[in-house]
Amino acid sequence: MTLRIHLFWSKAALAVTLLTLLSGCGVSTQAPAPITSTAMQIIVVTSTLEPTNTKVPATATSAPTPTMQAPTATPTVAPTATPDPNINPFTGLTISPTDAKTIPVLIKVSNSPEVRPQSALALADVVVEHYSEGGITRFTALYHTNLPERVGSVRSCRLIDIELPVIFEAGIVCSGTSGGTREKMHASNSWAKSGGDIKKTLWMVGDQGYFECQQYAGCTLPMYRTPETYAPHNLFASTHNALAELEARDMNKPTTFNTWSFSTKPPDGGKGASSVDVLYSSGTVGWAYDAASGAWARSIGGVPHSDAVVGRQITASNVIVLFVNHVTTLIVEDSGGSHGIEIQLWGEGNAQLFRDGKQYDVRWQRTGNASGLKFVDSNGAELPMKPGNSWLEMVPLDLAVKSK
């Protein structure tokens, strides 16, 4: 494996690094005083060969045995199929002509116990849960049909958020990034042709200095602070303001994402499943099927996971567990020194689709098209999802997932 490490020496590097780390945690900061001594910033760029199989430790001993996939470069060929303008490509449900013409918005949301219940996770079309660092998880929530004014609390982007805007063809809002993640972001497809100007990309990052207000009243920026709690947990996002910012950048264009199929009728095969437990090291995420509503109800550590905006437990029509290679990098993501994780969401791997009280063992695929992520059966045929919202649980290859 070839690993390239870049060392940058500058008088201002220490100031930028400290500000980035604080902002990445969602803390409102001001620029520090000038630094008079020379500082060194270490930024890591990805390996050029198949990475070592470094993973976040699992807390259970039983695990599926998916096949290891060798990562490839992020695909750049866009799909040629045109989505049905009357159907939301992320839910399979009818969408208004107005919403169909707008770009989806991804928002980075905390999963710290202090912020539960979060705001508007239950209103997202798709939620991606993944390891952040140190064994904790974080969410990237996609909004296309519902456009809430309060989503959060908002936290900083991670390496996986370089891939998700490309997969879903969506803008993304987060409170900041680490230095290493930012370098990777700048090299990504969503930064292409921007001339290095963040206002010409799909990214809205708070620590750049002009994407958040210190109050909600009258705020026209994508993010705002509230007085009801303390930083970094007091930052929230407005999807309407995020769309206005994307419109100003000439980025508010319909997505061409068209790789999921939907059917109200469950596919043949599969096996009965009334519950699924994802054994993340920071706490087990549980999903229990309710036949009366036809939805999966979410819990964390055995406690129902509710949403502050809708005032009820979070549910999903589809729960999809994706086994993806995780590589621990040398990128420092927080003030505690935790290292970032590259979740290699390209190529293909094993997955489990839960819908209508059944489990289907499938394969996830992201090959040959940038904005796409398919779920296929053993014959390569796409497996339809249930119309409605979906939660994607990203897990390391050896993490235990138990269903019954």
Identify residue 340 by its one-letter amino acid code: G
Element (H, E) at 340: strand 339-343
Q: What is the pLDDT of residue 37?
A: 31
Q: Cα angle at 390 between 368 and 169, to 5 degrees?
A: 40
Q: What is the pLDDT of residue 369?
A: 65
Confidence grade of residue 371 (pLDDT, cut at 50, 70, 90): confident
Element (H, E) at 224: strand 223-225
Q: In this model, does residue 388 exceed pLDDT 80?
A: yes
Buried b / exposed e along 276-285 (16+ C-beta atoms within 10 A): bbbbbbbbbb
Any alpha helices (H) in 214-331, and if so which ranges? 239-248
**363 backbone dihedrals φ, ψ, rounded to 5°:** -120, 135
Q: Which of 80-89, 99-108, 136-145, 393-402 has the lowest mean pLDDT?
A: 80-89
- Residue 131's DSSP bridge partners are 137
Structural domains of the chain ordered from first start: 4-45 (no CATH), 58-404 (3.50.90.10)
Smallest CA-to-CA distance from 159 within 183, 143, 175, 191 is with 183
> What interhelical angle do 160-168 and 179-186 show, nearest 10?
30
Confidence grade of residue 83 (pLDDT, cut at 50, 70, 90): low
Mean pLDDT rounded to a whole number for the chain: 82
121: left (phi over 0), alpha (psi -120 to 50) or beta: alpha
Q: What is the pLDDT of residue 370?
A: 73
> What interhelical angle do 179-186 and 13-24 show, nearest 10?
90
Q: What is the pLDDT of residue 21?
A: 36
Give whichever of 61-75, 151-165, 194-208 has the largest mean pLDDT: 151-165
Query: Which residue shows structure tokens 């930064």?
Result: 191
Residue 12 token pair: 């201002």
pLDDT in tens, 234-262: 999 999 999 999 999 999 999 999 999 99
Q: How many CA atoms lie within 13 A of 297 on its CB side?
A: 14
Q: What is the pLDDT of residue 150?
A: 98
pLDDT in tens, 256-307: 999 999 999 999 999 999 999 999 999 999 999 999 999 999 999 999 999 9
Any residues with CB less than 8 A from the CB of 258 and at least 6 apart, and which?
79, 81, 82, 83, 89, 372
Element (H, E) at 19: helix 13-24
Q: What is the pLDDT of residue 198?
A: 86
As a dihedral over the C-alpha atoms of residue 18, residue 24, residue 27, residue 31, rounded to 10 degrees, the angle is 40
pLDDT in tens, 147-185: 999 999 999 999 999 999 999 999 999 999 999 999 999
pLDDT in tens, 356-365: 999 999 999 9
Q: What is the pLDDT of residue 18?
A: 35
Residue 387 token pair: 């119309």
